[in-house]
């Protein structure tokens, strides 16, 4: 029974994550590595909904054996539950504190080579962790100085800080959802106001798109001017060629602008 539940629940979790990822992702511009990390992160997070009922069922079965006078021995199911919880915890831990932050800074960095982008990602994350460790060290030093903490209870201090971080983050996120989701549903309940709200959103998006298009034209013009005046033998010419290859040409911008104007007129 537990095997069937685990199989069906895992299939539902994977299907839900794939459907959500397909709905929200940009199929043309998102790299495969980004999609893979998002899929893994969401799957591990939602998989807790599968592990908790399995763990509860295993605990209840063990309690039944104890009441019937059976010996309390660690079974294969118990070993499997421990293994599954360990894989979920440490995978989530590595994604949260190592893999995803490094990849985020790597994608956001403006360096031109793979090595330089990795160096930027490592440097910025090391600075973040040093600041975090410094704050924790200051707190621990203060507690040790006032006698509220001793060397033997430092591990307990770390557990308390970690739980406080998780609970505070959860409260903030859940609090936002408890306010924003009902408010959005309340606004959508007025059917007569939906067209007006849609018109306002369309006007705002159209204005933002036009401003972004004008900014892009200025950037493209600056890139074209810089590429034209930079000597071919300049030491940074290779970087200029990379920038120029990433910038759309004037004909593409003109066609996009004409399409936007036609859509606005329609």
pLDDT of residue 246: 80
Which of 226, 187, 210 lies closest to 258, judged by CA? 210
CB atoms within 10 A of CB 213: 14
Q: Which DSSP string do the residues of the chain spell out, in sequence order?
A: -HHHHHHHHHHHHHHHHHHHHHHHS-TTTS-HHHHHHHHHHHHHHHTHHHHHHHHHHHHHHHHHHHHTT------HHHHHHHHHHHHHHHHHHHIIIIIHHHHHHHHH---SSHHHHHHHHHHHHHHHHHHHHHHHHHHHHHHHHTTS--GGGHHHHHHHHHHHHHHHHHHHHHHHHHHHHHHHHHHHT-GGGHHHHHHHHHHHHHHHHHHHHHHHHHHHHHHHHHHHHS-TT-TTHHHHHHHHHHSPPHHHHHHHHHHHHHHHH-
CA atoms within 13 A of residue 136's CA, in its CB half-sphere: 16
Do residues 42 and 20 make contact, with C-beta atoms less than 8 angstroms apart? yes
Give one word for 147, left, alpha or beta, with left for phi > 0 and alpha for psi -120 to 50. left
Instruction: Supply 250's token pair.
Output: 């004037």
pLDDT of residue 68: 60
pLDDT of residue 252: 66
pLDDT of residue 23: 87
pLDDT of residue 124: 93
pLDDT of residue 127: 94
Q: What is the spatial distance between Cα 159 and Cα 163, in angstroms, rounded to a whole number?
A: 6
**For each of the chain's 266 residues, which pLDDT tens digit applies?**
667 777 888 889 899 999 999 888 877 777 888 888 889 988 988 888 888 888 888 777 777 666 665 555 556 667 788 888 888 888 888 888 899 999 989 988 888 888 999 999 999 999 999 998 898 888 888 888 877 777 777 778 888 888 888 888 888 877 777 888 888 888 888 888 888 888 888 999 999 988 988 888 888 888 888 888 888 888 888 888 888 888 877 666 666 666 655 555 55
pLDDT of residue 233: 86
Q: At what angle do helices 194-229 and 250-265 cross, to 10 degrees?
A: 160
State CA 206 to chain mean position distance: 28
pTM, to two decimals:
0.69
């Amino acid at each position: 029974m537990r095997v069937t539940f685990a199989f069906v629940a895992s299939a539902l979790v994977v299907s839900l994550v794939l459907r959500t990822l397909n709905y929200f992702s940009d199929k043309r511009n998102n790299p495969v590595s980004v999609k893979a990390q998002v899929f893994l992160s969401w799957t591990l997070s939602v998989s807790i909904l599968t592990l908790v009922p399995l763990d509860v069922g295993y605990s209840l079965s063990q309690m039944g054996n104890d009441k019937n006078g059976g010996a309390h021995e660690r079974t294969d199911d118990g070993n499997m539950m421990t293994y599954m919880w360990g894989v979920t915890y440490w995978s989530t831990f590595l994604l949260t504190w190592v893999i995803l932050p490094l990849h985020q800074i790597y994608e956001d960095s403006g360096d031109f080579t793979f090595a330089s982008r990795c160096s930027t990602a490592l440097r910025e994350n090391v600075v973040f962790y040093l600041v975090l460790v410094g704050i924790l060290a200051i707190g621990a030093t203060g507690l040790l100085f006032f006698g509220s903490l001793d060397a033997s209870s430092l591990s307990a201090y770390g557990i308390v800080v970690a739980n406080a971080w998780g609970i505070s983050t959860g409260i903030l996120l859940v609090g936002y959802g408890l306010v924003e989701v009902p408010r959005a549903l309340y606004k959508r309940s007025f059917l007569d106001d939906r067209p007006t709200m849609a018109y306002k959103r369309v006007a705002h998006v159209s204005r933002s798109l036009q401003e972004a298009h004008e900014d892009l034209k200025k950037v493209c013009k600056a890139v074209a001017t810089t590429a034209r005046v930079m000597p071919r033998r300049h030491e940074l010419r290779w970087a200029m060629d990379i920038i120029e290859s990433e910038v759309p040409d004037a004909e593409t911008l003109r066609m996009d602008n004409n399409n936007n104007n036609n859509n606005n007129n329609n």
